[in-house]
Structure 1
C-alpha cells in the first residue's frame, strides 16, 4: 500500500460524521487519487515520499478527505465504478446510460473540493520546466 495522507480521525473532523468502518481503505484509495492528480507537482518530500512542508501536508490531507467525502456522497466505494453508469443490474446483467466520468482511461475523477485544496496550496496545475 502506498502513502496515505489523512487519518480516520481527520476524515471524521472533515465530514463532521464518524469515520466509516472502512475509512483506512477509502483514505488509501483517495490518497492514490490525489497522487495521480499531482503527477507533475513539485514539492519537498521525506524518504517515504511524504510532504515535509506543513502547508503541503495539510493540503494533501484536506484533498484526501474531500475525495472520500465526494466518493461517499456519490455512492462510490473508492473503485470508481459508481460514476460510470446511471443504472446497473446484476442478473441477467444490465448496464445503461453512462454518467459524466473522466474522459480518458485512468484519468482521476477528482472531487471539486479536493481540486480546490490542491490549487490553493499551489500544487495544481503542476508544471515541469
Structure 2
C-alpha cells in the first residue's frame, strides 16, 4: 500500500524532514509532556487506544487520517510534516556536469543514493 511519502517527488539531494518514526516519537513525547495517558489522548481525538498506540509505535502506515491526527495533536501543518530537507549542492566539489565522462556521472549518482540511504537509516535508528 503506497503511503503519502511515496507520492512526494524527491531529487537526489532531498529527503523527507520527518520519517514516520520521528513523527511517532514526537507524538509520544508530546503526549507525555501533556501528562496524558494513551486512553486520554485517544479519547480526546476520537480513536481507539490501539489506533493511537500504533501511531506511537509507528507500526501502521501513515495515511491521510493519521497525518491529520498527528498534525492536530502536534499543531503542525501538512506542509511542515511533509517538508523536505535539501542538501547544499553548491559546496560539493566532486559534482560535475561534464557529459564527456558518463562514468563520473554514474559514480556521483551512486554516491548520492548511498548518502541518502545512510541519512534515512540514521533517521530511522534515532527512533
TM-score, normalised with respect to structure 2? 0.28
Q: Whose RCO is larger (CA < 8 A, sep 6+)?
A: 2
Higher helix share: 2
TM-score, normalised with respect to structure 1? 0.28
